[in-house]
Amino acid sequence: RRLNDAKEKQPANASVIEDATEEDAILSASLPSDTMLAVEALRTNFPRQSICQFPIILISQVYGIIRDRNAADAALEEAAREGKIRKFAPGEGLDASAVQCIDDFVNSANSARKRVRSLAAPKRPPGMDSDESEAAAATPTADLVISRFLERVVPATHGRTVIARERLLELLDITPEPGPAVRPPVP
């Protein structure tokens, strides 16, 4: 009987409290994590006059701000899966040690595309040497590769640090050229 009395005496605003709890959950889900705030702070403070035009953040820098490395790693993995950041490894078989916000990553590729297009823009004057001529002739292909990279590879590789060469060529729709013929050793 006491339990029933307690239920009957619930505050009139009990449903409002439940709604507020749901709103809090939705709001907290939409807020960036401490790790992503650290990435944004590092991104904002990135020296704009550096050799790298678009900010790349070392994961060790994030660890310097976020003490719980496991939480930082989990948040970075989630952000990579969601396509908010790209993770980079310095070489084959190594763990990712840097991140870049996806907007900066795409802007970097678009910047490269503009540089490629600027090479193709001027018509070749009669005195242009062969290296310049080859670079100008290759620009439509380079522009196409960058376009396909942004349209196909980036969306297909969210959360991955490494992509197999065969998968990359498949996404870019490029047929690899056969390498030089290998001659057997002469006895």
Tell me the pLDDT of the chain (187 aa) as tens digits.
544 554 455 555 555 455 557 766 665 566 778 999 999 999 988 887 767 778 888 899 999 999 999 999 999 999 988 889 988 876 666 667 888 898 988 888 888 888 877 776 655 555 655 555 555 454 557 788 888 888 888 888 777 767 788 888 888 887 655 555 545 455 4
Q: Kindly give the pairing relationship between strand 85-88 and strand 57-58.
A: unpaired
Taking residue 166's Cβ as centre, other Cβ atoms within 10 Å add up to 9
Structure tokens at 126: 């009669």
Residue 17 Cα distances to 5, 20, 22, 156, angstroms: 20, 5, 9, 42
* Cβ atoms of 102 and 57 closer than 8 Å: no
- Looking at residue 148, what is its pLDDT? 86
Q: Is residue 159 a contact partner of residue 80, using CB atoms and an 8 Å limit?
A: yes
From residue 86, how far is each of 43, 58, 77, 162 by CA, in Å? 13, 12, 10, 11
The span from the CA of 150 to the CA of 173, in Å, is 13
pLDDT at 68: 94
DSSP reduced 3-state for 163 = coil
First to last CA, the chain: 100
Q: Is 58 helix (H, G, I), strand (E, B) or coil?
A: strand
Q: Give dist(CA 74, CA 114) in Å, integer.
A: 35
Give the pLDDT score at 130: 53
Contact 158, 102 (CB under 8 A): no
Q: Which two tokens stand for residue 42?
A: 């590092």
| Both tokens assigned to 25 | 């959950």
SS3 of 100, please? strand
